[in-house]
Structure 1
Amino acid sequence: MTGLCYWPAIEFPEVSEIPTREDAAKAASALLDVVGDFPFSNDDHRSAWLAMVLTLVARPAIAGPCPLFSFDANCRGAGKSKLVDVASIIATGHDMPRRAWVRDDGELRKVITSVALEAVPSVLFDNLTGPIGGPSLDMALQGTSWTDRILGKSETTGALPLRTVWMATGNNIEYGGDTARRALPCRLESPHESPEDRKDFKRHDLLAWVKSNRGPLANAAVTIVRAYFAAGCPTKGGLAPWGGFESWSDVVRGAIVFAGLPDPSRTRVIVRGTDRSAEVLRMLHVGIREAGNAVTAATIEQLLREQLVPGQQDQYPSLRAGVMEMCGSEFSSRKIGAGLRSFVGRVSDGQRLMSRKCHGNVSQWYVEPVAIAAGNGGDMDRSPPPVTPLGCPEPFVISSVGDGGGGGDGSGPASSQVIFVGHGDGVA
């Protein structure tokens, strides 16, 4: 009566109605056996790969956003892209769709808009050659709805569901903006100089083998999640929180730990080491102390523009490095001030960057220690979480706004009342 015909290309084994924890453990072992030839850094990273498989399979059960799954390695040819394709074939029967990574945030926003319009379930940014991150990607990773201006028109797309699972591959990936805290890395460490020349594989044509065995492999993935829910989600709420990805953590991390594997979020420790913004903040902390720990943006610019005498040692090496990384070679007091505002109050190594108004209403920058009391934020202000009033629609992200034309005087049906909400670090 619907006019739809279900004609599966392969046969899927029936999933038990109430699988046990032992069933989940066996299923996890079967899936990890598929990627046994890959040189994972450790078992935590094997869990991270399995987390991507379960995310693709169980995405409808996850109420909120999912993290970026990043696959990096110490060299080319280690198998990063193939790992992603294996997971995609298990979940969908197809290789993972690729998109080219664009560094310009405006162009990246257009890519995300096209993905939202097409309702693409998953996207891979393959073979990154530079840092990944930016405001548009951060918004896409942290929300489940998206709106943007339609190219060539003075109208928007409206609120589009955005439930895409994002992935990236590259060698020794670096993260820009706030992307580092939204990424779950999976790292390969190959001992070979040319991994692509290896011949000691258990399965010669792995992707073809996965396609021909997709039925039991998909069954195994569903079994893990089903067993976890059948048991009442026993690990839900018992894992260390990951802000912004609570629903994903409850479903995917909980199911993996339930199956007896390590918590995949433990791989995030390597992301913190490649977070460029964190490194810049550390340099600025040291640099501002080098300059006297009570300086204005204009003073910083003046100090860095002083010509160094040949053979003279630089008195402000950390400050210079931090400002150059933050603003580039074309720095100015205005750019320096804007950059410093984005770091206000952020804690690193027990220190935080703060500002106060001095003569002429000019901001003076200084670094101070932070005392954090147990169970709260110490001397930092803590605001209550925002509450969405009953009956209000779910907020959505506005990445750009075009001129919508005349909206009337508010008396007719053409009028529109819009509340604009924004957030950021050090908003000016």
Structure 2
Amino acid sequence: MNAAESKEQLLARLRAIADNTVQARPATDAPSAARARSVAPEARAGAKSRRRKVPPPPSISRGDDDRVWIHETPDEVKVTDETVAAIATKAPSVFRMGQTLGEVEDAEFRPAASARVIDLASSVAVYFHESNDDGEVRETPVHPPRYLGERILARPSHPGVRVLEGIVRSPILRTDGSVCSIHGFDAQSKLFYAPTIAFPEVPSSASLDEAVAAYLRLSEPFADFPYEDRELGIACAISAILTLLSRHLIGLVPVKCTSASSPGSGKGLEADTITMIGLGVALPRSPWSADAEEQRKMLDGHARRNELAILLDNIVCPLGGASLERNVTSTVVDVRVLGRSETVSFPWRATVLANGNNIRFAGDMPRRTYLARIVPQDDRPDQRTNFRLSPLLDHVRINRARYVIDALTILSAHAKAGRPRAARDGGWGSFEEWTSVVADAVVFAGGRDPLGARVVRDAKTDTVREALDGLIRIWRAFGGAVGIELACAQVIERCGADDEARAFLDELLDEQVPSRSEKQTKAARLSVLLSRNADRWTMVDGSLLGFVQGSAGRFGRRWKLSAPRGA
């Protein structure tokens, strides 16, 4: 643009350019556009299909894959069922222990996580969608559904998946007396055999003479322990070894207890010798608390880990309580879920070993226990040096394979002989299977009857009986005659003026119901003790008496002395 060009001339030129552009555009044919919009939808769909000729996703021939083919549909229950069935048939490393799904790796059972279940599903199954293209049905592989992991783990059972009772490191005794010595899972016993050492063969038809000889050899490691009754003490130790090796054949197992008269007598060494032979390891020591809640937590932890044995070491408070009594007479226990008000059931397969100095028992533990007593004749038993096998545990480690075969020889010979019963007066209620498999085998091989070591309920062992005897006497002395209701606070107040009665009551409560907090009163602790032992009858001065709940009063729940109905 030159300088002489005016503003009006410039605007005129721009208008001319715009007019020429509009005239160059083709005019829209309104009727044609309307006709295009009125074309049938079928024609448009066909045209659209012709425009996007994308090849369909690849399909896989079933002949190319030996995995199970699972059609993923909205029916999630059906898909989950088919996946569990595929895992059961195609994944030999997967087992179910209790309600838990997992795998055996490095001789340990490892519970499966949700992501691992998805991995297993991918390894055993092909998931696919069906489509119909031009009349041809196609199977298109897809990823496993994400919900499978949580759904499978949440199920209480997994049909078809092999049940695993435990992992053992010693040859497996079967019900018929035969012995499995092949590495891996034994379907008959439901145990996984993972040996850490080589074992000799057990005689295929062990005789009585071989069982007797095996018992004598198995007695060697226990010959130097100063048992009060030497033959009975050895029989108890060998019974514990046989129990560990045959635990899968027995429902309920009594507690094996060793009580020493003084520290340093060898009770811990005896326990290590038993478990070193039976399990191949010395067990970690578990303390035994006087607090019932701590007892429950400790035993629940052992149940969760499905442990084969527990060692309660150096017990100083009375052995007993509701949790231990329940577990010893149960094959399945309910365990609280941490952080939630729920319980989960776990199998209870543990053999309980316990030791301490001058052990006392509480509640119903005496009838669930067989006891060996160690009574050294030296003033300083911990300084003793005249052992024939020393160091004992080194000797046991070196000769463990032979000792295990000796124990299995005893069990196998007894089983193949028809498990003859030992001659004795009466049996052992709740522990009939243990008596048949273990105790009778010990007698069969020439040992003393372990049932002779059952704990006799008396004042020396039954602290609860002793406590109730004294409490009944105090209750009667301070106004609580038979049938008279008293609150715990009233009894404690009346005992306050009598130094001897007050001291007895304080000692009784410290032993039976230790204080859990400063706010817990003596009356509350006494009420706990009476609640635990309600309707338990004790013979006092020729009368059978016990505490029963009365009515509620101003000072709390009342209690009264009573005799059993019909007495």
TM-score, normalised relative to structure 1: 0.73
Other-structure match for 2:530: 339
Q: Secondary structure at the match of 1:294?
A: coil
Report if the CA contact (8 A) 1:280-1:325 is conserved: no
- State the match for 2:357 in structure 1: 171
For the 8 Å contact 1:344–1:352, the answer to whether it is kept is no
Equivalent residue number for residue 59 of structure 1: 247
Could you tell me which residue of structure 2 aligns to residue 352 of structure 1? 544
Using the alignment, how far apart are the partners of 1:39 and 1:280 within structure 2?
32
SS at 1:282's partner residue? helix
CA contact (8 A) 1:57 1:91 kept: yes
1:352 corresponds to which letter in structure 2?
A: L
1:88 is displaced (CA, Å) by 1.0
The answer to whether the 8 Å contact 1:11/1:215 transfers is: yes
Pick aligned residue for 2:414 from 202, 223, 228:
228
Say which of 191, 196, 214 aligns to 2:400. Answer: 214
- Asked if structure 2 preserves the Cα contact closer than 8 Å seen for 1:281 and 1:343, the reply is no
Displacement, 1:324?
A: 8.1
Match among 348, 357, 365 for residue 162 of structure 1: 348
Give a deviation string over 1:108-155, Cα, whole Å, max 9, x none: 322222212211111112222322322222211111112222212454
SS in 1 for 2:486: helix
Q: Do the aligned partners of residues 351 and 94 (structure 1) sit closer, same or farther apart at CA in structure 2, a change above 3 Å counting?
A: same
- Aligned residue among 58, 68, 90 for 2:255: 68
For structure 1, the residue ranges without an aligned partner over 5 or more in a row are 371-378, 381-428
Q: CA deviation at 1:168?
A: 1.7
The alpha carbon displacement at 1:289 in A equals 5.3
Cα deviation, residue 213, structure 1: 0.7
Letter in 2 for 1:167: L
- What is the CA–CA distance in structure 1 between the aligned matches of 2:549 and 2:456, rounded to whole Å? 38
Closer, same or farther: CA 168–269 of 1 in aligned 2, 3 Å: closer
Q: Which residue of 1 aligns with 2:561?
A: 365
Give, in whole Å, the separation in 2 of the partners of 1:367 and 1:244.
28
Secondary structure at the aligned position of 1:146 is classed as: strand
Kindly indicate whether the alpha-carbon contact (under 8 Å) linking 1:185 and 1:271 is maintained by their aligned counterparts in 2.
no
Describe the SS at the equivalent of 2:336: coil
2:391 is matched by which residue type in structure 1?
D
Indicate the structure with greater strand content.
2
Question: Does 2:284 align with 1:97?
Answer: yes
CA distance in 1, matches of 2:548, 2:198: 67
User: Contact 1:45–1:186 at 8 Å: present in 2 too?
Assistant: yes
The residue number in structure 2 matching 1:266 is 452
User: For residues 381-423 of structure 1, what are the alpha-carbon distances to aligned partners after superposition, in whole Å with 9 as ceiling and x for unaligned?
Assistant: xxxxxxxxxxxxxxxxxxxxxxxxxxxxxxxxxxxxxxxxxxx
Q: Deviations over 1:78-132 (max 9, x none)?
A: 1111111111111121112322333332233222222122111111122223223
Alignment of 1:246-261 (within 5 A): 246-261=432-447
Taking the aligned partners of 2:469 and 2:427, their CA distance within structure 1 comes to 25
Q: Is the 8 A contact 2:276 2:397 kept in 1?
A: yes
Distance (whole Å) between structure 2 residues aligned to residue 326 and residue 262 of structure 1: 35
Counterpart-to-counterpart distance in 1, 2:280 and 2:306: 18
Are the counterparts in 1 of residues 200 and 402 from structure 2 also a CA contact under 8 Å? Answer: yes
Once residues 148 and 37 of structure 1 are traced to their aligned partners in structure 2, the CA distance between those partners, rounded to angstroms, is 41
Contact 1:287 1:318 in 2 (8 A): no
2:300 alignment partner, one of 96, 113, 117:
113
Select between 113-122 and 283-292 the one with higher mean Cα deviation.
Answer: 283-292
Contact 1:68 1:167 in 2 (8 A): yes
Separation of aligned partners in 2, 1:319 and 1:41: 34
C-alpha deviations, 1:351-407, integer Å up to 9, x for none?
422578999997642458x9xxxxxxxx67xxxxxxxxxxxxxxxxxxxxxxxxxxx
Question: 8 Å contact 2:312–2:353 — kept in the other structure?
Answer: yes
**Residues 281 and 348 of structure 1 are in contact (CA less than 8 Å); yes or no, is this contact kept in structure 2?**
no
Would the aligned equivalents of 1:287 and 1:317 in 2 still touch at CA under 8 Å? no
Distance change in 2, residues 1:32/1:270 (3 Å):
farther
Pairing 1:130–2:317 present:
yes
Question: What corresponds to 1:276 in structure 2?
Answer: 463
Aligned-pair RMSD on alpha carbons? 3.6
Evaluate the alpha carbon distance shift between residue 135 and residue 200 of structure 1 in structure 2; reply closer, same or farther with a 3 A threshold: same
The 1-side partners of 2:511 and 2:483 are apart by 19
Check whether the contact 2:290–2:514 (CA below 8 A) recurs between aligned residues: no
Query: How far apart, in 1, do the equivalents of 2:222 and 2:380 lie?
Result: 19
Q: Name the CA distance, whole Å, in 2 between partners of 1:171 and 1:230.
A: 40
The 1:313–1:8 alpha-carbon spacing in structure 2 relative to 1, beyond 3 Å, is: closer
Moved more, 77-86 or 329-338: 329-338
1:267-289 CA-partner distances (Å, limit 9, x unpaired): 23466421111212332454455
**Cα distance in 2 for residues equivalent to 1:23 and 1:17:** 11
In the TM superposition, residue 163 of structure 1 has moved relative to its aligned partner by 0.6
C-alpha contact (below 8 Å) 1:353/1:366 kept by paired residues: yes
- Give the 3-state SS of the residue equivalent to 1:27 in structure 2: helix
Going from structure 1 to structure 2, the CA distance change for 1:340 and 1:47 (only over 3 Å counts) comes to same
Is 1:125–1:168's contact at 8 Å kept on the other side of the alignment?
yes
Letter aligned with residue 48 of structure 1: C
Identity level (%): 29
AA aligned opposite 1:61: L
Residue 67 to residue 250, structure 1, CA distance change in 2 (3 Å):
same
CA distance in structure 1 between the aligned counterparts of 2:475 and 2:320, rounded to whole angstroms: 26
Change (3 A) 1:299 1:15: same
Equivalent pair of 1:286/1:319 in contact (CA under 8 Å): no
Partner of 2:369: 183
Return the TM-score normalized by structure 2.
0.57
Q: Is the 8 A contact 2:243 2:438 kept in 1?
A: yes
Aligned to 2:274: 87
Indicate the residue corresponding to 1:198 in structure 2.
Answer: 384
Indicate the structure whose relative CO is greater, using CA pairs within 8 Å and at least 6 residues apart: 1
1:35 to 207, 212, 222: 222
Distance 1:41 1:334 in 2: 38
* CA distance 1:37–1:153, change in 2 (3 Å): same
Q: Is the 8 A contact 1:288 1:295 kept in 2?
A: no
- State how far apart, in whole Å, the 2-side matches of 1:180 and 1:98 are: 22
Distance 1:101 1:360, change over 3 A: closer
**Kept in 2: contact 1:86–1:207 (CA 8 A):** yes
Structure 1 residues 303-348: Cα deviation after superposition (integer angstroms, max 9, x where no partner): 6533777xx8979998998788666894439945961772525354
8 Å contact 2:228–2:374 — kept in the other structure? yes
**1:45 is aligned to 2:233:** yes
For this pair of structures, how many residues does the alignment match?
367
Tell me whether 327-336 or 82-91 shows the greater mean CA deviation. Answer: 327-336
CA contact 1:66–1:141 (8 Å) conserved in 2: yes
> For the pair shown, which has the larger CA radius of gyration, 1 or 2?
2
| Residue aligning to 1:242 | 428
Q: In the alignment, residue 314 of structure 2 is paired with which amino acid?
A: N
- Judged with a 3 Å threshold, the aligned counterparts in structure 2 of structure 1 residues 297 and 276 are, in CA distance, closer, same or farther, namely farther
Shift of 1:9: 4.0
